């Protein structure tokens, strides 16, 4: 059995990396557009999740948890 490199989504992960590797996460990100007041994929694609949640006063743990749930990742 070979081991695959495990990439963990964290506050330091860039949004583009999340969306490009796991397209299903886009649905979660779109849910947060309303909270942020902007299209996150349009205006924050090159920012880290931590930067985005801080800038728009969003719950970082909840955001990360929802993203991780979509890709089947445990925190």
Residue 31 has pLDDT above 70, yes or no: yes
Handedness of CA 8, 14, 17, 23 (dihedral sign): positive
Q: How confident is the model at residue 8 (pLDDT cuts 50, 70, 90)?
A: confident
Which pTM value belongs to this model?
0.84
Taking only the tens place, the pLDDT of each residue in 34-66 is 999 999 999 999 999 999 999 999 999 999 999
* Percent over 90 (pLDDT), the chain: 83
The per-residue DSSP string of the chain comes to: -PPPPPPPP-TTSBHHHHHHH-TTHHHHHHHHHHHHTS-HHHH-TTSBHHHHHHHTT--HHHHHHHHHHHHT---
The domain segmentation of the chain, as residue ranges, is 16-71
pLDDT at 7: 64
Are residues 8 and 23 in contact, defined by beta-carbon separation less than 8 angstroms? Answer: no
């Amino acid at each position: 059995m070979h081991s695959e490199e495990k990439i963990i989504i964290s506050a330091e992960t860039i949004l583009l990396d999340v969306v490009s590797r796991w397209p299903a996460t886009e649905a979660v990100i779109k849910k947060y557009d309303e909270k942020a007041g902007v299209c996150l994929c349009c205006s924050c694609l090159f920012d880290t999740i931590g930067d985005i949640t801080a800038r728009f006063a969003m719950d970082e743990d909840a955001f990360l948890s929802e993203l991780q749930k979509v890709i089947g990742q445990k925190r």
